[in-house]
Amino acid sequence: MLSFPSSSPPGFSSYNGGGMNGTSTMMDFLEEPLPGVGTYEDFNTIDWVREKSRDRDRHREITSRSKESTWALIHSVSDAFSGWLLMLLIGLLAGSLAGLIDISAHWMTDLKEGVCLAGFWFNHEHCCWKSNTTFTDRDKCPEWKSWSQLILGHGEGAFAYILNYFMYVVWALLFSLLAVLLVKGFAPYACGSGIPEIKTILSGFIIRGYLGKWTLIIKTITLVLAVSSGLSLGKEGPLVHVACCCGNILCHLFTKYRKNEAKRREVLSAAAAAGVSVAFGAPIGGVLFSLEEVSYYFPLKTLWRSFFAALVAAFTLRSINPFGNSRLVLFYVEFHMPWHLLELVPFILLGIFGGLWGAFFIRSNIAWCRRRKTTKLGKYPVLEVFVVTAITALLAFPNEYTRMSTSELISELFNDCGILDSSKLCEYVNDFNSTKGDDLPDRAAGPGVYTAMWQLALALIMKVFITIFTFGMKVPSGLFIPSMAVGAIAGRLLGVAMEQLAYYHHDWAIFSGWCSQGADCITPGLYAMVGAAACLGGVTRMTVSLVVIMFELTGGLEYIVPLMAAAMTSKWVADAIGREGIYDAHIRLNGYPFLEAKEEFSHKTLAMDVMRPRRNDPPLTVITQDSMTVEDVESIINETTYSGYPVVVSRESQRLVGFVLRRDLIISIENARKKQDGIVSTSVIYFTDHSPPLPPSSPSMLKLRSILDLSPFTVTDQTPMEIVVDIFRKLGLRQCLVTHNGAGCSKPLCPTWP
Amino acid sequence: MLSFPSSSPPGFSSYNGGGMNGTSTMMDFLEEPLPGVGTYEDFNTIDWVREKSRDRDRHREITSRSKESTWALIHSVSDAFSGWLLMLLIGLLAGSLAGLIDISAHWMTDLKEGVCLAGFWFNHEHCCWKSNTTFTDRDKCPEWKSWSQLILGHGEGAFAYILNYFMYVVWALLFSLLAVLLVKGFAPYACGSGIPEIKTILSGFIIRGYLGKWTLIIKTITLVLAVSSGLSLGKEGPLVHVACCCGNILCHLFTKYRKNEAKRREVLSAAAAAGVSVAFGAPIGGVLFSLEEVSYYFPLKTLWRSFFAALVAAFTLRSINPFGNSRLVLFYVEFHMPWHLLELVPFILLGIFGGLWGAFFIRSNIAWCRRRKTTKLGKYPVLEVFVVTAITALLAFPNEYTRMSTSELISELFNDCGILDSSKLCEYVNDFNSTKGDDLPDRAAGPGVYTAMWQLALALIMKVFITIFTFGMKVPSGLFIPSMAVGAIAGRLLGVAMEQLAYYHHDWAIFSGWCSQGADCITPGLYAMVGAAACLGGVTRMTVSLVVIMFELTGGLEYIVPLMAAAMTSKWVADAIGREGIYDAHIRLNGYPFLEAKEEFSHKTLAMDVMRPRRNDPPLTVITQDSMTVEDVESIINETTYSGYPVVVSRESQRLVGFVLRRDLIISIENARKKQDGIVSTSVIYFTDHSPPLPPSSPSMLKLRSILDLSPFTVTDQTPMEIVVDIFRKLGLRQCLVTHNGAGCSKPLCPTWP
């Protein structure tokens, strides 16, 4: 007897329907399928094998036809290149959207602090470009007025401060409320980071509207709002979602991809790569991210195309040039000093910190999200957002490192102190007689650095906790930037500490040999970067893609080893505490059907042990190939809820002939009753080639061979479960029949197993 | 009836042998297998499914035991980390070997021209480092004597020239003959690039000794000889082979990898990555190369580990620092000028050239190799090498661009002309009043450039033809460097032409707007680089890895678009002429069993069309599960040559019970006859759980259930061939049974199909 878990309702899976009736008929069959055939219902899992072989048939048909006429030849060529065209479009669209988001987010973030008189649409930086002030205090220019300056006419005094504070909070609340209301009202799917869902979709699940145009529009807008509201969230995850929406929507331009779920998923993988590529300006990292993190079925062709899409996107973004500097990458860093082997110790410490934080974050975030799902807290998303935003804003304003946007903070932390640096982090006790060129020697930290340390410590504590409550709210929220910020702060703190240690105690044994008096041996910025990598790795469990992204940020192979050491340590530590990364955890939390490719089976089970029917269930419901009448079949359909039935030779010898799906049976019987005359309840249904010998008196018979799947996947009841799961993963099956000595004792497995 | 193509003889494949006798027995079974069980003969294909599940069992056992004692816990931990340790060792070994090869090749190459008096073990560059001459003419220093200077005392005059010429040729012949004799005498497997064979091995084929220690030693030595003999070949491909040898040899240190063919192949993929990583100093490119080009089964874990190995190797090489400069990469280039969109036209032209050359090269090289295999030309490898070396050397010496080692040539071509450049390629008509900073404006080419152009053109023609005959000789020969050289020359020529065009005709419409008078708008070095990428792509059909390698060489994302445009064009052009890359072509030429994952099926066939027995063959040979005697089975074994037999319930109902392999039958029957008493020719063999009811008079029976594979892979006779092939590819099967309505009409498929 067959039964499917609810998450995978029936679906048509006679993918070689034409296999046995010869090519021609199959082609017709492909061209004009019965209504409802070949589509999936919402929240279904697709049948990869079938989709792929459908595409192969399509391809074969086109190539065979291409010899006939020039027109067909052109068609086949255009068909071959449509994929590349699609990638180009995705890259362009994703790149420009990312640019748009960056620019507007930048502007609105500054809007919280003040406005530009030269034109309110200028952000702080542009505003001061206009005015010809000196380079150093470019952020103080007459055109730019803080709110207090605008309203009171001056920016000094407690009252002005309070006014600015007030405006900051008000704007933040305004933005976030607008965001949550938009999401709630128009596109509920637009919330969150979207990567867990995209992972699930790429694994073959169908969530209608999740990648639709409304989600795209709303997510783009609300992402800007959420980011500029100063909440502790990033735009990277959502950008992947946005890019995938672009991909999905653009798929509709090409029949090849519109009609085939498997092909479309290839496009989506590429789109995800483009998303990361624009998020960080790291094309290669993006492709590897898509390969390592989100994708399920990733053929080489897709690799190459994703790379193309990622590049196009990156360059579109660059030509829009949102960061003012014509840099591709989000955080451009340039370090001058090599690192010393001994520094691996602090780097590994950072790795451990990252791992611990990652595990801690995942646990508490999941716990919080579960409470949100279960308790009635979840009923008031707007209130929740309001409260969290208020708290965040109130805590953020007094501390300049939390007041500035998180990405600014990160790039300041990554930054290595040059001579001209005006930042507080670089307020060292200068002795310019010992400066040579650009790289300054280690120096004693000035008061500025010490205050910065305190503020950073506070910022660290705040971010650690607030992020837990922020991620998972009903606004678009990415996780990369906050985790990186946490790591970067911790790293910078450690880096400065090391630097001071090296300065004051350069005679210690550990420093001897590589860090002499007045030399520049410690680069705090590098520590920040390593810390960021460690925390990001701890949360997402990315490895290669993470390191490659960081490598593309620095553009120097020198620093790969520290990054790698940290990433590896953090992954090991985090894995030791909890196996799954944040995305898998959320997938499980939301109960999406996802067959994790990484997990191992701890105990040994056989197909026999997990199959239905269980030993003491009623026997398997089967349909015989040429002895059942229409009403028999209809009664079976009505009595049982299973999505398909094995067809056997006869009840006595339960030899498996094929597999027929409930949906097809219903459709085609109805069809026959309507169109085909002489079909009555007593007429026999047969799945064989030739009609069975029956008395001439009997009513005309119904041949349903065309809907019979003659090559169902079968395993013997002795097959170990790992192998069965392997088959499911690698071939992307939806169900599988279990045979015992060739006879049906069938049971389904489906991608949600186990 | 079962029959296997000769390339996959029997192998034990009851991978879930313990599945039905419970875990404990299986563990014993795993610990002490019957002699000869679980191993493969030479030139066999392995059974991935079985290997993987064996490893899973091992892993499961270790984890289950780890709870028992601390010692077992330590063992499990060390087992978990052994993979990383192995990667570390591979990286170190491969890196140091690469360094060794570089240094000695460099020295021996210079030895052809002269010797250092300060110490004969110095190469030209080191020799002149010793002497404190000015920077500009560092290659002319008193310590370094050309042979004529050494012998005649002076380096001028025709006679001196002839003497140098003579010495050059003699050394070249000496090196190459030594190489070919070593290969012929000690390790025939050490010849060629090795990448086709490694591809085959990674796909599951077994070639004993191909990755053995002798191959390693001889290939390392002969590679140095071959490279320094000045033949038109590179060391990149062979380095991959060397790295794989290291991997394979080091595997013997760890049971986990020594005993399991599948796990070992994971290690080999990583080793291949390390090889490319040291060849170019491009770790990420190496990993992607392994993923895209050579690997067959590449789980994510392997990706991460390969990356680790590649990095370690790269840094080991760097710390050895063979190139004098502490650079990681083979050709370090730095361009100052961005490229203009219009330049895409010449870049695409280069792409077309690369594609055409690639296709032409593959065709003619394969034709030549086939002739070598078929005609008696192949009987005189030494003579062949002698002749080719002689021709190469004679043609090479007069032209300075062919005289220098190919990698030097490439880096000179890639190099952008600075102010201090003394190379002939940079002999422009200088007007220093217009020079600002380091980047010179476009200038009129001086006489030096023109002569260089002519010499380069000649070098191009020579390399194009000589490479065809060189690749495939009985010496280690890589293909990357020669192809890159061809492309680089073509690119440089085009680049200089463009530059002059822009200089003299900067008023033309195409240049207007981006290339004004006295501006530096064309970078010939970039053209060389793009050309190199195009040609390499045309020959190997690499895409992503190629671009990434090039990206790592330049280290700037700016130039990815030109590289990508060229690589794509060349791939498309080359694919349009001939589908397969050089490696696949050589695989097919040598007739290795390799199931190409990329190829598509053009026509629609079903499993029943290709299965054995064919329709009019004698019926299938089967073994019944409990009614055959020892002699029956033995007679079947003697009469047939098939590697395995399906076990059925009874002759009447051919219901499939399982699959038993000839080899196991033979082993276990012999075993039983020896050890188990009462086993005579008339005693019944049964595969069931319980012995069949027989009269008490009958002799004691032989139970062989333990060697019965109870979960053979089956497909129905209606399954489309693409799906069957898909199953074979993705699961790595060795055979597959075809059933008709649950009854055996079995046929094998094996990875060599089609």
Q: pLDDT digits over B594-604, tens only?
A: 766 555 555 66
Side by side, the strands of the sheet bearing A623-624 are A623-624, A644-648, A656-661
Q: CB distance from B730 to chain A under 8 Å?
A: yes
Q: How far apart (Å, rounded) are the C-alpha atoms in residues A175 and A390?
A: 11
- Token pair listed for B630: 């020892």
Q: CB distance from A657 to chain B under 8 Å?
A: yes
Interface test with B, best of A298, A548, A557, A736 (most B CBs within 10 A): A557
Q: How far apart (Å, rounded) are the C-alpha atoms in residues A733 and A753?
A: 11
Q: Is the pLDDT of residue A334 over 90?
A: no
| Per-residue pLDDT, B461 | 94
| Per-residue pLDDT, B205 | 86
**Nearest beta carbon to residue A53 from set B557, B715, B720:** B720
Residue A326's pLDDT band (boundaries 50, 70, 90)? low
Gap from A115 CA to chain B (nearest CA, Å): 36
Chain B positions touching A561 (Cβ under 8 A) are 311, 315
Which DSSP symbol is given to A716? E
Residue with the larger pLDDT of the pair A706 and A498: A498
| Structure-token match 């979207």, residue found | A194
Q: For residue B627, which phi and psi values (nearest 5 degrees)? A: -130, 0
Q: Which of A297-306, A363-372, A560-569, B71-80 has the highest mean pLDDT?
A: A363-372
Tell me which H or E stretch contains B370: helix B344-374
| Per-residue pLDDT, A698 | 77
3-state secondary structure of A559: helix
Q: How far apart (Å, rounded) are the C-alpha atoms in residues A647 and A10?
A: 16
- Residues 160-199 on A with a CB inside 8 Å of B are none
- Tally DSSP H helices, then E strands, for chain B: 27, 11
Q: Return the closest-CA partner of residue B292 out of A523, A301, A154, A372.
A: A301
B714–A714 CB contact, under 8 Å: yes
| Helices B261-280 & B195-202 angle (0-180, nearest 10) | 150
- Beta-carbon contacts below 8 Å between A and B: 177
Q: What percent of chain B has pLDDT over 90?
A: 25
B283–A726 CB contact, under 8 Å: no
Interface test with A, best of B711, B717, B719 (most A CBs within 10 A): B711
| Per-residue pLDDT, B596 | 65
Q: Is the pLDDT of residue B28 over 50?
A: no
A726–B49 CB contact, under 8 Å: yes
- The residue in chain B having the minimum alpha-carbon distance to the alpha carbon of residue A572 is B81
Please write the tens of the pLDDT for every residue from B685-737. 888 888 777 777 778 888 888 788 877 888 877 787 777 777 777 777 777 88
Q: How far apart (Å, rounded) are the C-alpha atoms in residues B144 and B123?
A: 9
A303–B292 CB contact, under 8 Å: yes
Q: CB distance from A30 to chain B under 8 Å?
A: no
| Structure-token match 């497995």, residue found | A749
Q: CB distance from A605 to chain B under 8 Å?
A: no
Gap from A306 CA to chain B (nearest CA, Å): 10
Q: Return the closest-CA partner of residue B646 out of B713, B692, B729, B706.
A: B713
Interface test with B, best of A15, A311, A327, A604 (most B CBs within 10 A): A604
Q: How far apart (Å, rounded) are the C-alpha atoms in residues A529 and B102?
A: 34
Q: Is the pLDDT of residue A35 over 70?
A: no
Q: CB distance from A524 to chain B under 8 Å?
A: no
Interface test with B, best of A341, A723, A737 (most B CBs within 10 A): A723
Q: Is the pLDDT of residue A667 over 50?
A: yes
Residue with the larger pLDDT of the pair A271 and A122: A271
Neighbour-count burial of B492, counting CB atoms closer than 10 A to its CB (0-12 exposed, 13-18 middle, 19+ buried): buried
A292–B284 CB contact, under 8 Å: no
Chain A positions touching B283 (Cβ under 8 A) are 557, 560
B284–A551 CB contact, under 8 Å: yes
Q: What percent of chain B has pLDDT over 70?
A: 84
**Nearest beta carbon to residue B20 from set A303, A561, A718:** A718
On average, the pLDDT of chain A sits at 80
Residue with the larger pLDDT of the pair A746 and B217: B217
| Per-residue pLDDT, B100 | 92
Q: CB distance from B315 to chain A under 8 Å?
A: yes
B547–A711 CB contact, under 8 Å: no
**How large is the average pLDDT for residues A728-739?**
78
| Per-residue pLDDT, B35 | 59
Rg (CA), chain A: 31
**Nearest beta carbon to residue B311 from set A291, A560, A719:** A560
- The residue in chain A having the minimum alpha-carbon distance to the alpha carbon of residue B289 is A300
* Contact indicator for B563, B534 with CB cutoff of 8 Å: no
This model of the complex carries an ipTM of: 0.81
Q: Is the pLDDT of residue B749 over 60?
A: no
Q: Is the pLDDT of residue B49 over 60?
A: yes
**Number of other residues whose CB lies within 10 A of the CB of residue A666:** 15
Please write the tens of the pLDDT for every residue from A385-397. 999 999 999 999 9
B741–A657 CB contact, under 8 Å: yes
- Residues 686-715 on B with a CB inside 8 Å of A are 710-712, 714-715
B284–A284 CB contact, under 8 Å: yes
- Token pair listed for A368: 């919080």
Q: CB distance from A364 to chain B under 8 Å?
A: no
Residue with the larger pLDDT of the pair B702 and A226: A226
Chain A positions touching B731 (Cβ under 8 A) are 726-727, 730
| Helices B344-374 & B524-540 angle (0-180, nearest 10) | 40
- Token pair listed for A252: 């509709």
B284–A283 CB contact, under 8 Å: no
**How large is the average pLDDT for residues B210-236?**
92
A741–B710 CB contact, under 8 Å: no
Q: CB distance from B262 to chain A under 8 Å?
A: no
On average, the pLDDT of chain B sits at 80
- The residue in chain B having the minimum alpha-carbon distance to the alpha carbon of residue A308 is B564
Chain B positions touching A556 (Cβ under 8 A) are 555
Q: CB distance from B283 to chain A under 8 Å?
A: yes
Please write the tens of the pLDDT for every residue from A279-301. 888 888 899 888 888 877 777 77
**How large is the average pLDDT for residues B362-371?**
93
Please write the tens of the pLDDT for every residue from A501-553. 888 887 777 777 777 666 677 888 889 999 999 999 999 988 888 888 888 87
* Contact indicator for B292, B545 with CB cutoff of 8 Å: yes
| Per-residue pLDDT, B280 | 84
- Token pair listed for B103: 């240094």
**Nearest beta carbon to residue A561 from set B311, B598, B741:** B311
Q: Is the pLDDT of residue A442 over 80?
A: no
Chain B positions touching A16 (Cβ under 8 A) are 718-720, 723
**How large is the average pLDDT for residues B221-240?**
91
Tell me which H or E stretch contains B714: strand B714-716
Gap from A695 CA to chain B (nearest CA, Å): 26
Q: CB distance from B548 to chain A under 8 Å?
A: yes
- Residues 407-466 on B with a CB inside 8 Å of A are none
Q: How far apart (Å, rounded) are the C-alpha atoms in residues A256 and A264?
A: 9
Residue B356's pLDDT band (boundaries 50, 70, 90)? very high
B741–A543 CB contact, under 8 Å: no
- Token pair listed for A626: 């040429």
Q: CB distance from B67 to chain A under 8 Å?
A: no
Chain A positions touching B19 (Cβ under 8 A) are 604, 606, 718-720
Gap from A433 CA to chain B (nearest CA, Å): 28
Q: CB distance from A557 to chain B under 8 Å?
A: yes
DSSP labels, B625-637: SSSEEHHHHHHHH
Interface test with B, best of A47, A544, A733 (most B CBs within 10 A): A544
Q: What percent of chain A has pLDDT over 70?
A: 84
A304–B543 CB contact, under 8 Å: yes
Q: CB distance from A327 to chain B under 8 Å?
A: no
Give the least confident one: A165-174, A346-355, A481-490, B664-673. Answer: B664-673
**How large is the average pLDDT for residues A609-628?**
75
The pTM of the whole model exceeds 0.90: no
